[in-house]
Amino acid sequence: MTAATLFQWILASLPEITVITGACVLLILGQLVRKGQENLLVWGSVAIVLIAALTTLLLASEVRPAYSGMFVADRFAVFFKFVFYLATVLTFLLSRKYADIEGIGSSEYYVMLLFALSGMMIMASATDLLSIYVGLELMVLCTYVLTGFLKRERRSNEAALKYVILGAVSTGIFLYGVSLVYGLTGTTQLDAMAAVSGDPLDPGLLLAVVFIVAGLVFKIGAVPFHMWVPDVYEGAPTTVTAFMSVGPKAAGFAVILRVFLNPLVAASDVWIIVAVIAVVTAALGSFVALVQDNFKRLLAYSSIAHAGFATFGVVAGGADGVASVMLYLLIYAFMNLGIFGAVIMMRNGDFSGEVIEDYAGFAKSHPGLALLMLIYLFSLAGIPPTAGFFAKFYVLTALVERGFVVLAVIAVLLSAVAAYFYIRIVMVIYMREPERAFEPALTPFVRATLACTAAGTIGIGLFPEWFLRLAQHSAFGG
Amino acid sequence: MAFPLLSLIVFLPAAGAGVLMCLRSDDAVRWTALVFTVLDLALAVAMLAAFDTTTHEMQFTETHPWVPAIGITYALGVDGISALFVFLTALLGWISVLASWVAIDRKVKEFMVSLLFMQALMLGVFCALDLFLFYVCWEAMLIPMYLIIGVWGGDGRVYAAFKFFLYTLAGSLLFLIGVIVLYFHGGETFDILALTAQDLPFRVQSWLFFAFLIAFAVKVPMVPVHTWLPDAHVQAPTAGSIILAGVLLKMGAYGFLRFSLPMLPEASVYFSPLMLALSALAIVYGGLLALAQDDLKKLVAYSSISHMGFVTMGIFALNLRGLEGGILQMFNHGVTTGALFLFVGLIYERTHSRSIADYGGLMKVAPVYTAFLALFTLSSMALPGTNSFVGELLVLSGGFAANLTVGAAAVLGALLSAAYLLGMYRKVALGPAIVAARYKIWDVNAREMAAIVPLAVFVLWVGLYPKPFLNVIDASVKHLLTQVHDKEGGQ
């Protein structure tokens, strides 16, 4: 290996290196930050992500493979990395006040988020089952810790423990699948696998693919590996829930797209499994959310339903299918962080704001914030002219283009079911009499988050062209 | 570039809503809303004045790329059919504002903002020449309407709002799939005119026909998917009812005219007996249900189902008289039923009762009110000299030409409408003045007259001299018929 190649490799992974170095520096310097100066931590973490974003942007001009086929910095990865940056920065901004209230405002919290970010970035760039595994583990280990960050809260500890055990099992299954692939094809590199000429319907390979699917589907919380989602989402600090519902989920989809659309895997009729998973996931998420009273639990099931809907895009495959999943995840990041921002903002003093009934009559005293929540909720329900509609529309277009009209019909019917529980929240906000005075924790950071997410939710809805082109441009498989 | 008149018409109410958000006093909000809606009407009248009635081509067209990556354009334009409904929407817009002047006393600003957004989206639906734009406006309307019913409605408003929302949503989502299928069959474009020019295989047409039918039938509403309507109407505030009956129900029928007939001509002809049968069912069943109501608003709501049956019957008679009658009847129903809901709202503001049994002898205390009520009641039962007579006569002659049985059922429906409307009028207006003893009643004031008189003018104008209105739609309807029959005849 020459110095030049090493330089190229480092260049390709410079954003990851930036984030990891920054996280390490923050880990040390964070100890020096005194009480009352926690804003410094937020600014520092945001600065690290922004520097990484800048390097990503500067290096995005060409495709940079690195580390002997384990890693690639292509446009697909760049798109996902920006979704991660967005999710992470907004989580930082939301966390400041919330961390104070919950007493979790130590520097480790921010460092963990940064390490999780670097894991997700590696996942987006990974082109080898083993580097996928490395990124995956880096990310989930951090989210295990973050889930249990409310040390004195039983729910939080219980959630973390459940998450660790189930997560470890799913990782084991994934690794077992990887070992089978290696035994059958002699490689774990995605490109090399694609070049292997073998019977795609070989039972051994099918078994391996099923194991890999099971391991990956766990990460996006799709049925039948969704059991952890509601408990973990409910128990984790709300800011971490917001982060997990967007960032790690998008990272999971990045890997799923790379692996499932690999020619060898795609040839093994894996789409049938994925189609079933998509239908069952969207159905379970939508129907179970109908009966939830806890806002965070409801959003957990809603995120399962959305994962199902995005999986329809994976089923469609092809350039439009991939682009539709990518656009869906970007738009979902905006609207879901928006609604979570509203939930986080309600947490003030003794008021938890975790039960839907807590929001009764919110529109009366805070019409502006209520309008924002209305926008996020209608967007999640997929009603135009919000971005949520365009996201669903594009997935449906990709499905119909590939001839999956029946799946498209199922998808829209399930999204009609899902619309019910979103507009039920709108009903509580707008059509009930208030029972208490509201004191949302509206710090400038939270305001900035809400403004950014609202701009994304409305802006992409009205002018989707630029984002659509970006997704189409970044998708592979065309 | 030509003057973007249609964009101005569509976006003026939305701009008004934006202005309203910055205002503080309720009175300023009311007046500003009124100013914007009246200006919008003035623009719509200007549009009609400049409208060329000799051609079926789209006029005042505007095209701008919106999402060129997948062939979505921002395209507006009107032909005779849509021009009429742009005018109707603008006409009912300011009447709705007047109707909510005192009836809405809390969150006035939010209400007017919803109302104006609603109007912008309705106008967008009628002007859209791009299927995606059409769908966005069509579906986005659910948001303000959900709020109008759910926040400012009666006691059962939450249930009614949910029912309205979910019914319409479920219907339109299948329409969305239909739109996407059409997009791929029609050469990856959402341009309505280009899609109309396509010749689709019959099998595809049939599937699409049913996908569209579900969406449009829910909106019209046709029996058996009508059950959201009485709830929504009864619970909605007066302005909400006026918009629902006046414009929203027309959108379903407009969908048939703009999409089902010209894009799916063979399927439309093939399934027209089914549609005629459903229409006849709606006419008779709606009439029977109206006969049994003791709630004023419910009675008018069920009569709407019956009257919209005439509209769909005229459309699917698929002949010139039927179509022209159906379209004219859409306009008439907007005016007349809008007025009837206004009247129910006016009396409800005074008594807070909608029960027919609570009224009687209204003529003695409110002579002007009852006089106008008589006019609109007679118009609703299609007395000669009023607007509905012209429309219903055309529909009946078209309907008889298409199918004798269906025509006969429609006549039965017309008889029923006389029974329930006259019965209603007798119980409310005539007899001993029991109502005055119980409530403090006063006759209509100047503001209310301002809302009533224009509607009364159109009742008589269309009734006595319908030619200008038929002229507007004539060229477009003839063209529509050639589209249906040429393609069908070519088989």
Interface contact flag, A397 B180, Cβ < 8 Å: yes
Query: In this structure, are residues A185 and A173 in contact, taking their beta carbons and an 8 Å threshold?
Result: no
- pLDDT bracket for residue A259 (50, 70, 90): confident
- The whole-number average pLDDT for the span A249-276 is 84
Work out the burial of residue B105: count CB atoms within 10 Å of its CB; fewer than 13 is exposed, 13-18 middle, 19 or more buried: exposed
Interface contact flag, B177 A400, Cβ < 8 Å: yes
Q: What is the DSSP code string of A301-332? A: HHHHHHHHHHHHHHHH-HHHHHHHHHHHHHHH
- The whole-number average pLDDT for the span B326-345 is 92
Interface contact flag, B161 A431, Cβ < 8 Å: yes
Q: Is the pLDDT of residue A267 over 80?
A: no
The confidence score (pLDDT) of residue A169 equals 92
Q: A10 to chain B, minimum CA–CA distance in Å?
A: 35
Task: Single out the residue of A402, A398, A375, A399 nearest to residue A460, CA to CA.
Answer: A375
Q: What does the alpha-carbon distance between residue B360 and residue B353 come to, in Å, rounded to a whole number?
A: 13
Q: What average pLDDT is seen over chain A?
A: 90
Q: Is the pLDDT of residue B183 over 60?
A: yes
Interface contact flag, A400 B176, Cβ < 8 Å: no
Q: A238 to chain B, minimum CA–CA distance in Å?
A: 28
Q: What is the pLDDT of residues A84-139, one digit of tens each?
A: 999 999 999 999 888 888 888 788 899 999 999 999 999 999 999 999 999 999 99
Q: What is the pLDDT of residues B252-300, one digit of tens each?
A: 999 999 999 999 999 999 999 999 999 999 999 999 999 988 888 899 9
The confidence score (pLDDT) of residue B54 equals 86
Q: What does the alpha-carbon distance between residue A117 and residue A105 come to, in Å, rounded to a whole number?
A: 18
Instruction: Give residue ranges of B with CB < 8 Å to any A CB.
Output: 65-70, 110, 135-136, 139-140, 142-143, 146-147, 150-151, 157-158, 161-162, 165-166, 169-170, 173-174, 176-177, 180-181, 183-184
- The whole-number average pLDDT for the span B235-250 is 90
Angle at B220 between CA B215 and CA B226, to 5 degrees: 90
Buried/exposed B349-379: b ≥16 CB within 10 Å, e otherwise: ebbebbebebbbbbbbbbeebbebbebbbbb
B437: tokens are 């003893």
- B161, B173, B181: residue with CB nearest A400: B181
The confidence score (pLDDT) of residue B444 equals 81
Mutation for testing the A interface, residue in B11, B21, B67 having most A CBs under 10 Å: B67
Query: In this structure, are residues B92 and B334 in contact, taking their beta carbons and an 8 Å threshold?
Result: yes
Interface contact flag, A396 B151, Cβ < 8 Å: no
Task: Single out the residue of A147, A423, A122, A442 nearest to residue A258, CA to CA.
Answer: A122
Q: Is the pLDDT of residue A187 over 90?
A: no
| Better-predicted residue by pLDDT, A77 or B364 | A77
CA-nearest residue to A371 within chain B is: B110
The confidence score (pLDDT) of residue A157 equals 92
Q: Is the pLDDT of residue B1 over 70?
A: no
- Residue B439's identity, in one-letter code, is Y
Percentage of residues in chain A having pLDDT higher than 90 = 60
- pLDDT bracket for residue B487 (50, 70, 90): low
- pLDDT bracket for residue B23 (50, 70, 90): confident
- A384, A385, A431: residue with CB nearest B151: A431
Q: Is the pLDDT of residue A161 over 70?
A: yes
- pLDDT bracket for residue A478 (50, 70, 90): very low
Q: Give me the helices (H) in A186-269, please.
A: 190-195, 203-220, 228-235, 238-260, 263-267
The confidence score (pLDDT) of residue A200 equals 67
Find out whether the peptide bond into B221 is cis, omega within 30 degrees of 0: yes
Strand partners, A294: A355
Q: What is the pLDDT of residues A283-302, one digit of tens each?
A: 999 999 999 999 999 999 99
Task: Give A-chain residues touching B140 at CB under 8 angstroms.
Answer: 383-385
Query: In this structure, are residues B303 and B287 in contact, taking their beta carbons and an 8 Å threshold?
Result: yes
Q: What is the pLDDT of residues A302-354, one digit of tens each?
A: 999 999 999 999 998 888 899 999 999 999 999 999 999 998 988 887 777 78
Interface contact flag, B146 A384, Cβ < 8 Å: no
Q: What is the pLDDT of residues B370-419, one digit of tens each?
A: 899 999 999 998 888 899 999 999 999 999 998 888 889 989 998 999 99
The confidence score (pLDDT) of residue B182 equals 92
Q: What is the pLDDT of residues B415-468, one digit of tens each?
A: 999 999 998 998 888 877 777 677 777 788 888 888 899 999 999 999 999 898
Q: What is the pLDDT of residues A405-453, one digit of tens each?
A: 999 999 999 999 999 999 999 999 988 888 888 888 888 999 999 999 9
Three-state secondary structure of chain B: CCCCHHHHHHHHHHHHHHHHHCCCCHHHHHHHHHHHHHHHHHHHHHHHHCCCCCCCCCEEEEEEEEEHHHCEEEEEEECHHHHHHHHHHHHHHHHHHHHCCCCCCCCHHHHHHHHHHHHHHHHHHHHECEHHHHHHHHHHCHHHHHHHHHHHCCCCHHHHHHHHHHHHHHHHHHHHHHHHHHHHHCCCCCEHHHHHCCCCCHHHHHHHHHHHHHHHHHHCCCCCCCCHHHHHHHHCCHHHHHHHHHHHHHHHHHHHHHHHHHHCHHHHHHHHHHHHHHHHHHHHHHHHHHHCCCEHHHHHHHHHHHHHHHHHHHHHHCCHHHHHHHHHHHHHHHHHHHHHHHHHHHHHHHHCCCEHHHCCCHHHHCHHHHHHHHHHHHHHCCCCCCHHHHHHHHHHHHHHHHCHHHHHHHHHHHHHHHHHHHHHHHHHHCCCCHHHHHCCCCCCCHHHHHHHHHHHHHHHHHHHCCHHHHHHHHHHHHHHHHHHHHHHHCC
- pLDDT bracket for residue B359 (50, 70, 90): confident
The confidence score (pLDDT) of residue B490 equals 43
Find out whether the peptide bond into B265 is cis, omega within 30 degrees of 0: no
Q: What does the alpha-carbon distance between residue B455 and residue B188 come to, in Å, rounded to a whole number?
A: 43
- Number of Cβ pairs < 8 A linking chain A and chain B: 81
Find out whether the peptide bond into A367 is cis, omega within 30 degrees of 0: no
Q: Is the pLDDT of residue A197 over 70?
A: no
CA-nearest residue to A401 within chain B is: B184
- A401, A408, A464: residue with CB nearest B67: A464
Mutation for testing the B interface, residue in A380, A386, A430 having most B CBs under 10 Å: A430
Query: In this structure, are residues B410 and B278 in contact, taking their beta carbons and an 8 Å threshold?
Result: no
Task: Give A-chain residues touching B184 at CB under 8 angstroms.
Answer: 400-401
The confidence score (pLDDT) of residue B488 equals 53
- Chain B contact present for A198, CB below 8 A: no
Task: Give A-chain residues touching B67 at CB under 8 angstroms.
Answer: 464-465, 468
Task: Give A-chain residues touching B166 at CB under 8 angstroms.
Answer: 416, 419-420
Task: Single out the residue of B282, B310, B291 nearest to residue B427, CA to CA.
Answer: B291
A254: tokens are 């990045």
- A378, A400, A468: residue with CB nearest B67: A468
The confidence score (pLDDT) of residue B360 equals 79
- The whole-number average pLDDT for the span B133-147 is 92
- Chain B contact present for A319, CB below 8 A: no
- pLDDT bracket for residue B200 (50, 70, 90): confident
CA-nearest residue to B180 within chain A is: A397
Q: What average pLDDT is seen over chain B?
A: 89
